[in-house]
Amino acid sequence: MRIDIVTIFPGYFDTLELSLLGKAKDRGLLDVRVHDLRGFAHDRHRTVDDTPTGGGAGMVMKPEPWGAALDAILLSAQEAEPGVFDAEPDNGSQAPLIIFPSPAGEVFSQSMARELAAERHLVFGCGRYEGIDQRVVDEYSAGGRVRLISLGDYVLNGGEVATLAMIEAIGRLLPGVVGNPESLVEESHEDGLLEYPSFTKPATWRGRDVPPVLLSGNHAAIAAWRQQQRIDRTRAVRPELLPPED
Ligand code: SAM
C-alpha cells in the first residue's frame, strides 16, 4: 500500500520507522511518503494559514498550498499507474483515497480500518489551527474519493496523531505485516466484543493466580471461559456493543 501524508510537522512521522510498521516499510509492504506542506507555499515566509473569513478566533489553513500538494501527489499516482483513475469512484475506482482527519468526520473503527486496508493508496491531509479551508475538501470531494474521519469525540491540536493512529490500525491488517495473522482475528472489536484478559508465566505473581482453567489443558473449557470473559467484559465496560436482548 502507498501512503502519502501532507503535514506541517513531518517529524511526527519518524516513528513509522519503528516496530512492525518500520519492518513493513523495509520489506516494501508499505510505501510511506511524507510531504511538508510548507514546501508548497511559495511566498517568502512559506505561509500556510490566514485569518478566518467572517471573523472569529484562530487561523485557517490556506487552500493554495493544499491544492498544490494534493495535485502533485495525485499526478505522481497517475503517472505511476495510469489505469487507476479510469473507473468511476462508485464503480471500483482505485484512485487514491484522500482522508482528512477531522473531529467533524465519521468516527474511525476497526471495521473502517479493514475497509481502508483494502485500498491501494491513501493520502492523509493533516489539518492544524482551526482546520483547512472547506473549499479544499469540496474541490477533491468532487472526484468522490474523500473521507473526513475522526479519531473520537475530542479535539486534538492537529491531524498528525490521528493519522498515525489510523496508519497503525490499517497497516497491521495488511497481509504480512503482523507475523501471526491469527492474532488479529481474536482481538477486541473484530467481532463486536472486547478481547478476553491475557496471562503469561509465572502461574502466581504477588499472590495472584492465573485462572486455573487456563492451566487445565482442556481447550474446549479454555475457549468457553474466554468467550464468557469477552461477554462479561463487554457488558461491564461497553454494553452498547452487545446485540440487543429479546
Ligand atoms: N476547529 C475544528 C473543529 O472544531 O472541528 C478543530 C480544529 S483542530 C484544533 C485542528 C486539526 O486537528 C483538525 O483540522 C484535524 O486535522 C485535527 N483533529 C482534531 N481533533 C481530531 C479528531 N478527533 N480526529 C481527527 N482529527 C482531529
**Residue-by-residue DSSP string for 142-211:** TTT-EEEEESSSS--SSSHHHHHHHHHHHHTTSTTTSS-THHHHTSTTSSSSPPPP---S-SEETTEEPP
Q: Is 6 near ligand 1, meaning CB less than 6 Å away? A: no
Among protein residues, the one with the nearest Cα to ligand 1's atom 2 is 130
| Residue 127 alpha carbon to ligand 1 centre in Å | 7
Q: Is 159 near ligand 1, meaning CB less than 6 Å away? A: yes
Least confident segment among 2-16, 112-126, 183-197, 211-225: 183-197
| Residue 69 alpha carbon to ligand 1 centre in Å | 20
Which helix (H) or strand (E) segment holds residue 135: the answer is helix 134-141
| Residue 147 alpha carbon to ligand 1 centre in Å | 14
Rounded Cα distance, 38 and 48, in Å: 7
Nearest partner of 117 among 44, 73, 171, judged by Cα: 171
Rounded Cα distance, 219 and 203, in Å: 18
Q: Is 101 near ligand 1, meaning CB less than 6 Å away? A: yes
Nearest partner of 203 among 211, 195, 194, 193, judged by Cα: 211
Mean pLDDT score of the chain: 94
| Residue 102 alpha carbon to ligand 1 centre in Å | 5
Identify the burial level of 163 via C-beta atoms within 10 angstroms of its C-beta, where 0-12 means exposed, 13-18 middle and 19 or more buried: buried
Q: Which pLDDT does position 91 carry in this prediction? A: 54
Q: Which pLDDT does position 88 carry in this prediction? A: 62
Q: Is 171 near ligand 1, meaning CB less than 6 Å away? A: no
Q: Which pLDDT does position 244 carry in this prediction? A: 87
Instruction: Read off the pLDDT of residues 138-192 as tens digits, 9 standing for 90 and up.
Output: 999 998 799 999 999 999 999 999 999 999 999 999 999 998 878 787 787 888 8
